[in-house]
Amino acid sequence: MLKYLMDENVNPVYINQLRRRKPYLVIRAIGEPDTPLKGTLDPEIIIWCEAHNFVLVTNNRTSMPVHLVDHINTGHHVPGIFILNPDMGIGETIEELILVSEASFEEEYQDQIVNLPILGMRL
């Protein structure tokens, strides 16, 4: 099952609803204990995700591709980066993240930036 690290700019409602709906999912948010501090630079967040095997969930469409390429070019890997879709509702996004976490295999999204919806279906 995938583990998610929610970027600090992701609306906390996603974190709260994911934890409420599926308490067994491993969901962490930047700024929580044992995660990067708020304000941590993106390259350091990617390194943390690699070290702890978390997929990063973010709104950052602009600089994240550059940071990922730099990370990979230094011989590193990341379990994956999911970019939230502003056209998807909160409920749709939560369902997508739950389904993807439960149905994916380890390393399926390694070194990839994937835009939601991954499954190509809208509820």
pLDDT over 50 (residue 73): yes
User: pTM higher than 0.75 for the full model?
Assistant: yes
Nearest partner of 84 among 119, 60, 68, judged by Cα? 60
17 contacts: CB under 8 Å, gap ≥ 6 = 90, 94
The CATH fold assigned to 4-115 is Rossmann fold (3.40.50)
In the chain, domain spans = 4-115
Looking at residue 25, its pLDDT comes to: 96
Q: What is the mean pLDDT of residues 83-89?
A: 95
Q: What value does the mean pLDDT take over residues 90-119?
A: 93
Query: Helix/strand/coil (H, E, C) string of 30-80?
Result: CCCCCCCCCCCCHHHHHHHHHHHCCEEEECCCCCHHHHHHHHHHCCCCCCC
Kindly state the percentage of the chain with pLDDT values over 90.
92
Q: Residue 52 above 60 pLDDT?
A: yes
